[in-house]
Structure 1
Amino acid sequence: MAVNNSYQAVDGESSMRLIGPRVIIVQVLIAIFLYINFLLILTFSKKDFLHTNMRYIFFANTLLSDSLFLILTDVVLILSYFGIPMQMWLCLLLYIALSVNTFVTPLTLTAMTLERYVAICMPLRHGELCTPHFALCSILILHAISYVPGSVIISNFIATASSHVYTQAKVCSVEMFILHKWQGHVRSAVHQSYFLFMSSTIAFCYIKIMKVATNASGENKKSLRKGVQTVVLHAFQLLLSLAQLWCPFIESAVLQIDFVLFVNVRYFNYIAFILSPRCLSPLIYGLRDEKFFLALKYYALFGLYRNNSPGFVR
């Protein structure tokens, strides 16, 4: 709790004066990302053939999760910026929702990479394994797995916190739930376990796909090259998302040194490891896919853009 108390102690004007313009920039970026995500979700809902493709079902799941995550993190940012307190039980519910959506995107990216692995390395079984029904079941499983880290932290908090804590009003922060040093170690162990699992899966898929791509030739080689590029982009996006798991530990250490440095580090982490990974999804599946891009362009220009190519849906 020392970290949380230190953060709340520097209240009011000084912190607002330091980060005021940055918060405005973040609001603009979030508005842009949410608008793009809305267009992509609209495009997905309008194109029936996307509903039968496992990749795009996973993609839609990341869009919905990212949009909710951006909204929730923005709410926490605004409340912290103005120093608006909330009761502990409400902060607890907010933290659970944030924790789930923190892990949904990297886990879904891992599942999308596995789908590419099956498509390239096991093409004869792709149609059998990568069905819309299996995709929906996988999404439910991914959400259940995403719930585990937050539930572990909350369970430890409930087991050690006194009953009157839930009615206290404080500025909401994840550090509020770390009452003892060992709880921080548990959170670190859980996050690192997820980090190891997802990074190992990505590395395995990349190596296997590269082996197949090296032995391919002709048109098949061109198609595989695009698959390799997609996996590389997933790996980069996943790396940024996983780096987010380390941010609280870095910020806690920096806060013990200097608050101004802490503000700068937290702002950088938010832009680099929270906003950036969530703007790569539109790049990977929104702009690199020709039909998806044409539909996105149509909706982005409010219907002023016209395209008569087959399969384009208005």
Structure 2
Amino acid sequence: MVINDAIQLTVTIMLFVLSYIFYFINVSFCCFFILVAVFTTRNSPVILASMAIERYIAVCNPLRHAQICTTQRTYILIGIIWFVCVVTEMSDFFVTLASEPISFFYTSVFCLRQNIFRFPTLATKMQALDFLYFSCVLLTLVYTYLRVMFAARAMSTDRTSAQKARNTILLHGAQLLMCMLSYIYPRIEAVISMVFPAHILDIRYSTYLIVYILPRFLSPIVYGVRDQKFRKYLKKNFLCNQCRVTPSGEQENRLENEH
């Protein structure tokens, strides 16, 4: 998840900065940036669903958790997620390659998806995929959350781990809602741009911050603070810094009083 978000942020920030500097970008470069950004954006909710399933197995099938959720199977699952997302999006590139003349890829455009993949059915396909991704991941999160919640009520000994797993799946749900903003924001942005056409650049900048930066900024903070080891070292370093600052401040006050 961290690697995926890092790639996504790096590519989208580069694309955003280049669009502001040059405004028009070569179609070939723009196509590469758009595809990588779409790959990583679609990966995020699927990875969240996979993490929720892992928590469900850990709570509802704890004895088989070590056998099912191995490191090798995790790598295989990550590869499958990337393969599915890449294959579904590469079809846009091949359709564009077949429908557009070669000279089109040597021209320069403002780097937006609709300016590159202009074939009429591609927009419908994108909306269908958005709905499919959202539905599958949402159903997965609801199912795993309900199963973990029922398991937590039935447990008489290890309710703490079940409660933590339930809270983790709730966080996955919150992250999913934030990730889903990337699926609906083009429609919202289009409506706002029609109302305020003179501020289209400001609207795109604001939606980029809210849709792409904010969810990925909150994610490591939330998970970092929830981790016990990270929280322990954070408190330790914070308290040590306070201890270092306080004696030096007292020493300065003593020196001032002596003078």
Which bracket does the TM-score occupy, shorter chain normalised? 0.7 to 0.9
SS at match of 1:172: coil
The residue number in structure 2 matching 1:158 is 97
Matches within 5 A, 1:4-153: 62-153=1-92
Structure 2 stretches lacking a partner, 5+ long: 243-259
Offset of residue 148 of structure 1: 3.1
Out of 110, 124, 133, which is 1:194 matched to? 133
The residue number in structure 2 matching 1:241 is 179
Offset of residue 267 of structure 1: 3.6
The residue number in structure 2 matching 1:270 is 208
Structure 1 stretches lacking a partner, 5+ long: 1-61, 306-314
Deviations 1:243-268 (A, max 9, x none): 21121232234334432464454344
The residue number in structure 2 matching 1:211 is 150
* Contact persistence 2:179–2:215 (CA under 8 A): yes
4+ runs deviating over 6 angstroms: none
In structure 1, C-alpha distance between the alignment counterparts of 2:41 and 2:188, rounded to whole Å:
17
The residue number in structure 2 matching 1:45 is none
1:179 alignment partner AA: R
Distance 1:237 1:260, change over 3 A: farther
| 2:170 aligned with 1:232 | yes
Distance 1:251 1:145, change over 3 A: same
The residue number in structure 1 matching 2:254 is none
Matches within 5 A, 1:249-260: 249-260=187-198
Deviations 1:265-288 (A, max 9, x none): 434432332122212331343221
* Contact persistence 2:27–2:116 (CA under 8 A): no
Distance 1:250 1:148, change over 3 A: farther
Distance 1:97 1:164, change over 3 A: same
Offset of residue 294 of structure 1: 4.3
In structure 1, C-alpha distance between the alignment counterparts of 2:180 and 2:87, rounded to whole Å:
16
Larger radius of gyration: 2
| 2:232 aligned with 1:289 | no
Distance 1:102 1:92, change over 3 A: same
In structure 2, C-alpha distance between the alignment counterparts of 1:237 and 1:270, rounded to whole Å:
16
Offset of residue 192 of structure 1: 1.4
Offset of residue 197 of structure 1: 1.1
* Contact persistence 1:240–1:272 (CA under 8 A): no
User: Larger deviation: 175-184 or 165-174?
Assistant: 175-184
1:77 alignment partner AA: F
Number of residue pairs matched by the alignment: 242
In structure 1, C-alpha distance between the alignment counterparts of 2:122 and 2:225, rounded to whole Å:
42
In structure 2, C-alpha distance between the alignment counterparts of 1:86 and 1:215, rounded to whole Å:
58
In structure 1, C-alpha distance between the alignment counterparts of 2:65 and 2:234, rounded to whole Å:
28
* Contact persistence 1:237–1:280 (CA under 8 A): no
In structure 2, C-alpha distance between the alignment counterparts of 1:202 and 1:149, rounded to whole Å:
23
Offset of residue 174 of structure 1: 1.3
In structure 1, C-alpha distance between the alignment counterparts of 2:25 and 2:203, rounded to whole Å:
25
Distance 1:111 1:260, change over 3 A: farther
TM-score (norm. length: structure 2): 0.83
* Contact persistence 1:149–1:191 (CA under 8 A): no
1:156 alignment partner AA: V
2:219 alignment partner AA: S
Offset of residue 295 of structure 1: 5.3
In structure 2, C-alpha distance between the alignment counterparts of 1:253 and 1:100, rounded to whole Å:
25
Offset of residue 216 of structure 1: 2.3
More helix by share: 2
TM-score (norm. length: structure 1): 0.70
In structure 2, C-alpha distance between the alignment counterparts of 1:261 and 1:209, rounded to whole Å:
47
Offset of residue 186 of structure 1: 1.4
| 2:107 aligned with 1:171 | no
Distance 1:265 1:86, change over 3 A: closer
